[in-house]
């Protein structure tokens, strides 16, 4: 029989305990730098993460949050400076969440990333003196060829920029120190365009890219379709400024694009291989062209490509690695789970007159891939989640060489353990600083077999 709560007994509602934040300013000695770029201090046995502080500094800080395991604070002033502290180049650094490390000199930024990488890969570094370490660095400023800006527009205001760290607030910026100059110029014109639109409040993001030839592409992301008059204004902007513009009314639906015939596509060039990669403004491309060129070169070097090789490229995208690799080998097959990217990769192969490169749609999250190919070498360039299931299958294979490009060192370390518990050893590891001024980095690893047996992947 059903039981009913007595009317005299009120419901008990759980309320999470509110931890009071320590008031006032406090002198805090900072011991080290956290993964996210904040300083770490230990106060009364509890870690304090201090935004704006560097290792070895003593700072006056204000507490902003208290948690069970740690507290959070922000720097008010610095009493004892780190010798590696520098003045941030960007005037918005203290507000904007786009960069983490502009107050740290560039050699120390790369050292911080190496220290984190060394901790993650200590099982290999401590036990195998054959492991070769390297690094790829470039210009720490004006390196991004694309950027995605948040938009907070209303009848009375229009903020376009990046969100504050750990906040939804959009910091309005007029220029960014880490993007190409052409993007900053385009940002100014886009701001004027957005302000002129009657229905601008439906716009939540704008993506801008500059290609190898200086052509500009713009994608405007909206929560609802723009009006006909606003679309006309966007079209006029594309004509006046000679740029490519897409208006998207959802994550997948394109409301319109200009020019409509797409007669001149955006593209980037891999000069060393005589390969041109056409792309659209919303396609995934590596943000740092200079480092990308060197990553492609390193991958080709590490794979030791020959004219009889058959290479598998997992997470191939629009052909960034597959197409240049194809110029050295008998055959390359790129695998991707996004059908639209495979279509573009196929089109890019035709554009470059490359006929020994095939692209296939496949579920790269499947427990086991069914592949009717006889590969002898492979590369992987997965998203941040890594490629755990694929690596479990590759670990059992007899591929001669595997190159793994990662934007998340933690998942690379996890997947490296899988491969090295199988048939492979970690031979080389290189940091590629794709994202200077931030805590993020790209890492590339080479795995080899000592017996160099024929491949058996299937």
CATH of the domain at 307: 3.40.50.150
pLDDT of residue 172: 97
363 is in an annotated binding site: no
In a domain, 417, yes or no: yes
Write down which residue in 201, 234, 266 finishes a domain: 266
Spell out the alpha helix ranges (H) of 177-269: 181-196, 228-241
* Residue 363 neighbours by CB under 8 Å, 6+ apart: 337
Between CA 203 and CA 186 the distance in angstroms is: 17
Region label for 236, one of left (φ > 0), alpha (ψ between -120 and 50) or beta (otherwise): alpha
pLDDT of residue 458: 46
The answer on 298 and 198 residing in a single domain is no
How many folded domains does the chain comprise?
Answer: 3
Could you tell me the residue range of the domain that residue 61 belongs to? 25-85
CATH number for 55: 2.40.50.140
The answer on 309 and 200 residing in a single domain is no
The answer on 371 and 228 residing in a single domain is no
The answer on 130 and 244 residing in a single domain is no
17 is in an annotated binding site: no
Dihedral angle computed from the Cα positions of residues 238, 241, 244 and 247, in that order, rounded to the nearest 10 degrees: -40
Give the DSSP H/E element, type plus range, for residue 207: strand 203-210
Q: pLDDT per position in the chain (458 positions), as tens?
A: 444 454 555 555 555 555 677 888 999 999 999 999 999 999 999 999 999 999 999 999 999 999 999 999 999 999 999 999 999 999 999 999 999 999 999 999 999 999 999 999 999 988 877 788 999 999 999 999 999 999 999 988 999 999 998 889 999 999 999 999 999 999 999 999 999 999 999 999 999 999 999 999 999 999 999 999 999 999 999 999 999 999 998 766 778 888 876 555 799 999 999 999 999 998 999 999 999 999 999 999 999 999 999 999 999 999 999 999 999 999 999 999 999 999 999 999 999 999 999 999 999 999 999 887 789 999 999 999 999 999 999 999 999 999 999 999 999 999 999 999 999 999 999 999 999 999 999 999 999 996 654 444 54
**DSSP bridge partners of 402:** 378, 447
* Residue 4 neighbours by CB under 8 Å, 6+ apart: none
The answer on 218 and 300 residing in a single domain is no
The answer on 245 and 170 residing in a single domain is yes
In a domain, 8, yes or no: no
The answer to whether 407 is a known catalytic residue is yes
Of 99, 158, 357, 407, the active-site residue reads 407
CATH number for 224: 2.40.50.1070
Between CA 46 and CA 122 the distance in angstroms is: 26
The answer on 297 and 226 residing in a single domain is no
In a domain, 5, yes or no: no
The answer on 374 and 306 residing in a single domain is yes
The answer on 156 and 122 residing in a single domain is no
Between CA 280 and CA 282 the distance in angstroms is: 6
Between CA 371 and CA 393 the distance in angstroms is: 11
pLDDT of residue 64: 95
The answer on 311 and 351 residing in a single domain is yes
**Residue 185 phi, psi dihedral angles, 5° rounding:** -65, -45
Cis omega before residue 11 (within 30°)? no
In a domain, 276, yes or no: no
pLDDT of residue 332: 98
The answer on 411 and 379 residing in a single domain is yes
In a domain, 454, yes or no: no
Q: Which residues of 135-147 are buried (b: 16+ CB within 10 A; e: fewer)?
A: ebbbebeebbbbb
Query: What tokens were used for 3?
Result: 């039981």
Question: The whole model's pTM is what?
Answer: 0.90
Write down which residue in 235, 266, 297 finishes a domain: 266
Write down which residue in 85, 106, 126 finishes a domain: 85
Classify residue 442 as exposed, middle or buried by CB count within 10 Å of its CB (0-12, 13-18, 19+). Answer: buried
Dihedral angle computed from the Cα positions of residues 302, 305, 310 and 315, in that order, rounded to the nearest 10 degrees: 40
284 is in an annotated binding site: no
In a domain, 295, yes or no: yes
336 is in an annotated binding site: yes
Give the DSSP H/E element, type plus range, for residue 446: strand 442-448
The answer on 424 and 314 residing in a single domain is yes
In a domain, 197, yes or no: yes
* Residue 269 neighbours by CB under 8 Å, 6+ apart: 212, 275, 276, 277
Within 263-407, strands assigned E span: 266-270, 275-279, 310-314, 331-336, 357-361, 377-380, 401-406
């Amino acid at each position: 029989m059903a039981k009913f709560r007595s009317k005299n007994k009120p419901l008990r509602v759980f309320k999470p305990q509110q931890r009071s934040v320590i008031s006032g300013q406090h002198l805090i000695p900072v011991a080290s730098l956290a993964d996210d770029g904040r300083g770490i201090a230990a106060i009364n046995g509890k870690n304090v993460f201090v935004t704006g502080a560097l290792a070895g500094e003593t700072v006056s800080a204000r507490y902003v949050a208290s948690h069970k395991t740690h507290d959070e604070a922000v720097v008010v002033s610095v009493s004892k400076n780190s010798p590696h502290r520098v003045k941030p180049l960007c005037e918005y650094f203290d507000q904007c969440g786009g960069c983490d490390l502009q107050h740290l000199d560039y050699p120390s930024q790369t050292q911080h990333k190496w220290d984190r990488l060394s901790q993650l890969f200590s099982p290999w570094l401590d036990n195998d003196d054959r492991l070769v370490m390297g690094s790829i660095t470039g210009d720490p400023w004006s390196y991004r060829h694309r950027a995605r800006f948040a938009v907070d527009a209303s009848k009375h205001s229009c903020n376009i920029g990046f969100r504050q760290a750990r906040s939804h607030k959009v910091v309005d910026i007029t220029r960014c120190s880490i993007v190409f100059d052409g993007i900053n110029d385009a940002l100014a014109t886009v701001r004027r365009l957005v302000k002129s639109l009657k229905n601008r409040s439906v716009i939540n993001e704008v993506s801008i890219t500059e290609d190898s030839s200086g052509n500009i592409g713009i994608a405007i992301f909206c929560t609802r379709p723009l009006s006909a008059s606003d679309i006309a204004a966007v079209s006029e902007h594309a004509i006046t400024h000679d740029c490519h513009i897409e208006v998207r009314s959802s994550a997948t639906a394109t409301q319109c694009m200009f020019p409509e015939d797409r007669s001149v596509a955006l593209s980037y060039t891999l000069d060393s291989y005589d390969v041109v990669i056409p792309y659209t403004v919303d396609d995934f491309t590596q943000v740092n062209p200079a480092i990308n060129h060197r990553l492609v070169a390193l991958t080709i070097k590490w794979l030791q490509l020959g004219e009889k090789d058959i290479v598998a490229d997992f997470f191939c995208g629009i052909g960034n690695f597959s197409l240049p690799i194809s110029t050295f080998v008998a055959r390359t097959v790129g695998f991707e789970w996004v059908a639209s990217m495979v279509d573009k990769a196929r089109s890019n192969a035709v554009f470059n007159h490359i006929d020994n490169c095939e692209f296939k749609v496949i579920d790269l999250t499947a427990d086991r891939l069914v592949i009717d190919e006889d590969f002898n070498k492979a590369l992987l360039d997965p998203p941040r989640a890594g490629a755990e299931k694929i690596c479990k299958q590759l670990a059992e294979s007899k591929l001669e060489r595997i190159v793994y490009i990662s934007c998340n060192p933690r998942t690379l370390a996890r997947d490296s353990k899988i491969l090295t518990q199988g048939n492979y050893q970690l031979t080389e590891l290189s940091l590629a600083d794709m994202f200077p001024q931030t805590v993020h980095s790209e890492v590339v690893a080479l795995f080899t077999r000592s017996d160099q047996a024929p491949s058996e992947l299937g």
